[in-house]
Amino acid sequence: MLMMFSFMFICGLWVFSSKRKHLLMTLLSLEFIVLVLFITLYYYVMMMMGELYVTMFFLSFAVCEGALGLSVLVSMIRTHGNDFFNSFGLLQC
């Protein structure tokens, strides 16, 4: 089970590092990594017979991270018209 979660995590990191031109693909790969980490944390807590409060805190932080990423994506699309990182200068405000 741990091997499968490790493989999924590595695949998410690979997509995150290879698809760095599109912000949407980057955000989707980050959400996939967060989902894999959540499932791993859930199984670890269930095996140790612990309380699930930690997973609720993790999910609330994951939702905040997703909302922040989507707000950056919407702001970038409104100002530049697409989600390519190459379409705008990094030194412009």
Q: Any alpha helices (H) in 1-93, and if so which ranges? A: 2-18, 23-47, 53-80
* CA-based radius of gyration for the chain: 16
Amino acid at 57: F
Q: Which backbone phi and psi does 46 adopt, to 5 degrees?
A: -65, -35
Residue 11, pLDDT score: 94
Residue 87, pLDDT score: 59
d(CA 57, CA 37): 13
d(CA 88, CA 60): 32
- Kindly give the confidence (pLDDT) of every residue in the chain, 93 residues in length, as a single tens digit, with 9 standing for 90 and above: 889 999 999 999 999 888 777 888 888 999 999 999 999 999 999 999 888 898 999 999 999 999 998 998 888 888 777 777 665 555 454
Residue 10, pLDDT score: 95
Residue 89, pLDDT score: 59
Domain boundaries along the sequence of the chain = 2-87
Residue 4, pLDDT score: 93
d(CA 63, CA 22): 21
Cβ(33)–Cβ(25) below 8 Å: no
CATH topology (fold) of 2-87: Helix Hairpins (1.10.287)
